[in-house]
Amino acid sequence: MRKKGVKVIILTASYGNGHLQVANSLYQECVNSGLTNVKICNLYAESHPFISEVTEKLYTKSFTYGKQFYKLFYYGTDIIQNKKMLRWYYQYGFKRLTSLIQAEQPDILINTFPINAVPEFRRRTGIVIPTFNIITDYCLHSLWLHDDIDKYYVASDELKAKIHSRGVPLSKVMVSGIPIRPAFSESYDKSALYEKYKISPEKDLILLFAGAHGVLKNMKEICETLLLTTDHQLAVVCGKNFSLRNELAHLNNRYDDRFHCFGYIERIDELYRLANVMVTKPGGITLTEATATGTPLILYKPVPGQEKENALFFSQKGAALIAKNQDDLFLSIESLLEDKQKQSSLQSSIEKLNLPASQEVIMNDILNESDKISRINSSHTISSQKKKLGS
């Protein structure tokens, strides 16, 4: 299969920003490597826009108001082994996928979300399109697994072993890391970054992420307490949460030299590099970005589901601290900033989890694997035709 002629469809979903970010990273890698026919499809949003919008909002709310409901859904669907009970999920988006494949005639399908309509298409139609799953967390959910997925790309040896324990051959799982933006591997001038963001190199910097949807609660109270009880600098990233940014505006006047409040930042990697400690939710992409910069992490109040499982993995690896409440958070921050050996240990452990250039590794392997699959499929087709002629 010649690279320039390859048609790739990257399928994703907007339940959180991580799946979309991975899709965009893979898309950019395709473009950089000379692939000119690449398409990103938010399959569920295109299939059922109203249902998708409602469920995306419910997903966002689950991090604050519906934790128990999401816990039940996440762990409940994970233990269901009977595919008949999940038939509704396997059919979700199938009609749109079928029309997309008919229109685009892709050579490769890539999932950055567990969209089981994709392998189901092969099972139902017998049409073999090389299909690959990029798992975007450090934990495994059974919805990612399907007999008709050709290969899985994962973030750790532990995750590879878990997939193998579910009956998947080791040859079908590659430890590649999770794709993140190339900016995280670029060189930088730290002194220039201090000047750019008006941050002093003389004091420790605590970086706080409100989350993509402002899910890190009580940010105002947390900031006020840290500013009153410590001499550290604070940088808060609010993203597109304009109401939170307005709520924190008064702190700029009171603590002009120690408090920095930002909205959306394109080069967020630069703040990672300046932080002595980062307080965040344990999303798969954020964690992967931190492995690239070696930023010590405190994972604040992870909710049941992939957040909790991600946090436990990083904690067990000695790569992050978990804070279950505000008091725990304040103690963790202070102990970490006072104990430079502890800070260094966290930094060393998180750097060991870094797998650079993941998008390049993944796309190179996908192209090789899809070539093999296509050759095998073509050989089987020719063999079948010869048998028919002989009969």
Give the count of beta carbons closer than 10 Å to the beta carbon of residue 125. 11
Residue-averaged pLDDT of the chain: 87
CATH number for the domain formed by residue range(s) 185-352: 3.40.50.2000
Q: Work out the average pLDDT over 39-43.
A: 93
Could you tell me whether strands 297-300 and 173-175 are parallel, antiparallel, or unpaired per DSSP bridges?
Answer: unpaired
Please report the pLDDT score of residue 389 as a whole number.
37
245-255: pLDDT as tens digits: 888 988 988 88
Could you check whether 3-177+356-390 and 185-352 share the same CATH topology?
yes
Tokens 């009171």 belong to: 254
Poorest-pLDDT segment among 41-45, 114-118, 159-163, 215-219: 215-219
Above pLDDT 70, what percent of the chain? 83
- Pick from 10-14, 70-74, 302-306, 347-351: least confident: 70-74
Instruction: Please give the pLDDT value at position 377.
Output: 77
Region 136-160 average pLDDT:
95
The helix/strand/coil state of 280 is: strand
* Domain residue ranges of the chain, discontinuous segments joined by +: 3-177+356-390, 185-352
Mean pLDDT, to the nearest integer, of 94-123?
A: 92
Q: What is the mean pLDDT of residues 142-165?
A: 96
* Maximum Cα interatomic distance, the chain, rounded to a whole number of Å: 88
What homologous superfamily does CATH list for 3-177+356-390? Answer: Glycogen Phosphorylase B; (3.40.50.2000)
In this structure, the strands spanning 205-209 and 277-280 are: parallel
What pLDDT shows up at residue 157? 98
pLDDT at 214 over 60: no
**What 3-state DSSP class applies to 15?**
coil
pLDDT of residue 385: 41
Q: How far apart are the first and last CA of the chain?
A: 32
The pLDDT value given to residue 379: 60
Q: What's residue 122's pLDDT? A: 92
Mean pLDDT of 288-299: 97
For 323, the enclosing helix (H) or strand (E) is: strand 320-323
Q: Whose CA is closest to 330, among 199, 218, 213?
A: 218
pLDDT of residue 87: 67
* pLDDT grade for 318, boundaries at 50, 70 and 90: very high
The pLDDT, as a whole number, for residue 14 is: 75
Q: How far apart are CA 119 and CA 131, in angstroms?
A: 7
Looking at residue 91, its pLDDT comes to 77
